[in-house]
Structure 1
Amino acid sequence: MSDAVVIDARGHRCPVPSLRLMKAMQDAAPGARLVLMATDPMARIDVPFLMAQKGGRVVAVEDVDGGLRITIETGGWPGVQTD
């Protein structure tokens, strides 16, 4: 996972983790892997919803070190907007 961009949103509550992930998605190439580190338990719900809205997909949700590590892959399909 060394080529994944890591977004550290630990210690922040909703909507900060999702906002940081959306910003990273805007800057990422289609098909890029991003890893969101979050301690807000709502990220487990918010990120899949965000991916459904923005055209990415959740690859993995893992419980680590008292928080979550959520790996996503950005969409690369025509017409998909990340902003």
Structure 2
Amino acid sequence: MKTTKLDLSGLKCPLPALKTRKALGSILPGDRIEVHCTDPLSKIDIPNLINETGDRLEAVTHDANRIVFLIERRRMS
């Protein structure tokens, strides 16, 4: 199991969700992506994306400047 960091800081909607979708397509089931975002809309967009893809949102943490999503790849598209 491998974790890849994806820094999407500074990108605005819809780019964080689009780049996360692309990154999920390039990893194997069981691997994880740690996605770092600064766009507040990511709190809505990334969980919606994960619902669509069937992957698993393991954790969401945030502070005043950044939102971090830990996503596990569940299946190949």
Pairwise same-fold verdict (TM > 0.5): yes
Partner secondary structure for residue 5 of structure 2: strand
| C-alpha separation in 1, matches of 2:23 and 2:55 | 12
Q: Is the 8 A contact 1:61 1:68 kept in 2?
A: yes
Question: TM-score under structure 1 normalisation?
Answer: 0.83
Q: 1:63 is aligned with what amino acid?
A: H
Runs of 4+ in 1 over 6 A off after TM superposition: none
2:51 aligned with 1:56, yes or no? no
Q: Is the 8 A contact 1:48 1:57 kept in 2?
A: no
Question: Aligned residue for 1:74?
Answer: 73
Partner secondary structure for residue 13 of structure 1: coil
Q: 1:23 is aligned with what amino acid?
A: K
Summarize the alignment of residues 1-83 of structure 1 with structure 2, pairs less than 5 Å apart: 3-64=2-63, 66-76=65-75, 81=77
Question: TM-score under structure 2 normalisation?
Answer: 0.89
- Identical counterparts, % of pairs: 32
Contiguous gaps of at least 5 residues in structure 2: none
How far the C-alpha of 1:64 sits from its partner, in A, is 3.9
Contiguous gaps of at least 5 residues in structure 1: none
